[in-house]
Each structure stands twice: as structure tokens, then as C-alpha cells.
Amino acid sequence: MARTDWQGKRVLVTGATGIVGSWLCRELLAQHADLTVFVRDTDPQSELYRSGDIQRASVVNGELEDYDTVERALNEHEIQAIFHLGAQTIVNTALRSPLQTFRSNIEGSWNLLEAARRLPDLVERIVVASSDKAYGSQENLPYNEEMPLNATHPYDVSKSCTDMLARSYAMTYDVPVTIARCGNIYGGGDLNFSRIVPGTIRSILRGERPVIRSDGNYIRDYLHVQDAVSAYLLLAEKVDSKEVRGEAFNFSTESWVTVREIVECIRKQLGSDLEPDVQNTAKAEILSQSLSAEKAKRVLGWNAEWDLDRGLSETIAWYQEYLGKA
């Protein structure tokens, strides 16, 4: 990953214990940023803790729904750059408890953006992590950034709202914010085993049949975590550009696969003959999703560096070490 001048920059990462947050923190520390993380729950299995990176960062404990804590984090730590990854990210959790998801994802986002608006002499750049799910179901694929946000299900709606809030603060108050829309981000360190990649790997390593909750024909866009990290850093670096501030960008390998296909890729790499258990019980999920990264390539000069085979190979090796199973 190309190095840029993050040395000494005072950076806040929300959602730092998640898969992307953990790897982003690692990269920022490698580039000698002055890192602060916003953490709700202590998760000792998170890469942020397992790697020891938490010991090299300032820690603010609290919830994004608490405005005073958010503003205190920015003000007292004199934050210059924010990577806003903090959110409730599991579709089924959102389906069971939409109110909690709306509070975390929507209220948490407006609190962060409002605190940044009130501290213009400090905050220079903000990247808001969104999702392809903000687009909802569309007749034509792949998604491009000119399409309307058409979400209907709770998690998807929470991401659409976050996008619109970010754009509102950029256009109305000139808050230096930009938006990243990624598909399914995978890689070592994802401990949400209800997701297809870590869940499939763990099941096979345990000698169990991998579970597919849908009918297996849902099309998804998979992006390796290292590509997501490079995308977020690049957006932050370019937010002063009029082509970037207030804009949303898709990030994708533009190689889309069905759920059955990604399970088959994992089975092949692990040499497994365990057939998937196709349950076809998924609810409130979009049938087909794919992203065009043309805008990111044209405006930012970004390109994905990890194809699916390489990304899965690295990811499987991580879980083999983590689970102690070769």
C-alpha cells in the first residue's frame, strides 16, 4: 500500500474493533498517525486487541448515540481526520431490532457530523463508510453513483440515511466529508460468522457443512479488506477536491459472484468435499447487488489490487491460524 503523509496527523476511527476498522488502524499506525479510537464494547478477539494495536492508540469509550461523548472525543483529542465506520452492520440484527440499528447508524452519524460542523478549526476531513445496500433493489446493475438510493429494509435504509446526512452536511455547511460505498468486505479478522466468508471457512475447518441461508443464487460484490482500507485513505487524502467533497464513490473489483460460487471457491481452496446446507430462509435481503467502480477509477485513480482467489487464500490462512486448524 502506498504511503502518504499521515505522520503526526490526529485521526479518529469509529468502529475500530470491526474488520475494516482494525486493519485501517493498523495501516494508520504504520504510517505514524496519532490515532484515537472510539469503542463501545471491549472485544478482546478483535484484531485491534489481538494485535496489540489498541495499546498504541488513545481510547474513547462510549456510544455514538451520545452526542456529548462524540464532541468530547473530537475536541479533547483535537481530531483532524475522521474515518466513520461505527455502525450496527449485521442485516439480521437490524431485522430483529430496527430501532437500535437506526439509533446507532443514523443518530450516531448525525452526531458525528454535527460535532465536526461545530469544530471547523479542527476537523479537516471525514470519510463515511456506507454500503452497496444503500441503493436497495435496482432494475439495472451494476450500481452507479447516479442511481437513486432506493433502500427498503432496516439496515439498508440506515445506510441510505447516513449517505444523505453526509451529503447534506457537505452541501449545506461545507463539512469536509465524502462517502465510500463498498459491497461485502471480507478478510482476516471478521468474527461475524453469520457472514458467508468467515462462516464457510470456519464450518469447513470444523468438518461441518457450510450453511447458505439464501437459495445460493444471490449475487454479491466482494471486496478484500486491504482494498477497502486503501479506498478510505485515498478518499480522505482527496476530500478537498470539488470532485470528491460531498460525493459518494463505489469501490469494487467488478467481479461479481453468487453465494454458491464463493462457497465453492472456499471449498476448492480448502480441498473440501463438504456440500453446503442450502436453507433458503433469508429474509429482507436484496437478490442481486453489484457495483461499478468507474467513478473511483476515473476521479481517484483507484483500482482494486486483490482478486478473489488471492483474497480468499490470505483470508483462509488467517482463519487457519486463528482457529488453530491447518
Positions marked catalytic: 155
d(CA 321, CA 95): 33
CA distance 92 to 221: 19
Enumerate residues 6+ apart whose C-beta is below 8 A from 18: 46, 85, 89
What are phi and psi for residue 260, nearest 5 degrees? Answer: -60, -40
User: What stretches of the chain show up as alpha helix (H) in DSSP?
Assistant: 19-30, 47-50, 67-76, 91-96, 98-102, 108-118, 154-173, 196-205, 225-237, 259-270, 294-295, 308-323
Using CB atoms within 10 Å of the CB of residue 49, give its burial: 0 to 12 exposed, 13 to 18 middle, 19+ buried: middle
What's the CA gap between 296 and 298, in Å, rounded?
6
The dihedral sign for the CA sequence 291, 177, 225, 306: positive
Which three cell numbers, joined as nine digits, stand for 153? 429494509
CA distance 306 to 314: 10
User: Alpha-carbon Rg of the chain, whole angstroms?
Assistant: 19
DSSP β-ladder status, 222-224 and 277-278: unpaired
Closest to 210 (Cα-Cα) out of 228, 196, 222: 196
Decide: residue 44, CB within 10 A, 0-12 exposed, 13-18 middle, 19+ buried.
Answer: exposed
Largest CA-CA distance found in the chain, in angstroms, rounded? 59
Assigned C-alpha cell, 82: 475522521
